[in-house]
Amino acid sequence: MQIADEPYDKEEQLLYAEQTKWLLEDHPDKLALFCMQITDQPKWQQMWEVIRTDGIIFQWYPYYTSNGKSLDLAPYAYGMLGFCVKFCKNKEIGFLVARGVGGPPRSDSLLRLNTYAALAYGCEGFIDWRWGTTTKESGYAWYKDKKYQ
């Protein structure tokens, strides 16, 4: 269960910590998670020290490439993946990646590269999401039948 999304407010972090504690005590079969931008570290580390969830969902979208269209990931993206997995392993918590896209559609190749790079670094699961869209320019995928979603 996602407890919070980008929990920057310190007072709210304390509330999320209480929610996490309740969830883990009353529903031990559920996972408590919060979602945070992969590049916003050390903030997500500090947040975890307060909230203490079972894992972190890292927002790492396939536009973190060299130029937004390239099929090559920027070097810092690999560094962040390595840093996240090391932190999660040291804390014995889950390392998940949110795959979502804003803006123009991305190629299947870029989406696969994003997924496989995360898996290679030790990602244990994915959360897929998408803001709603009604246009080709903001669609997630462009299908052979020329419909977008």
Sign of CA dihedral 19, 29, 80, 109: negative
Where residue 76 falls among pLDDT bands split at 50, 70, 90?
Answer: confident
Asked whether the predicted pLDDT for residue 149 surpasses 50, the reply is no
Among 8-17, 36-45, 61-70, the range with the most confident prediction by mean pLDDT is 8-17
Q: Tell me the Cα Rg of the chain.
A: 16
Instruction: Output the pLDDT for position 72.
Output: 64
Query: Which stretches does DSSP call E strand in the chain?
Result: 2-5, 33-37, 55-59, 94-101, 125-130
Q: What is the pLDDT of residues 90-136, one digit of tens each?
A: 999 999 998 765 656 667 777 788 889 899 999 999 987 765 555 65
Q: Say how far apart CA 11 and CA 125 lie, in whole Å.
A: 29
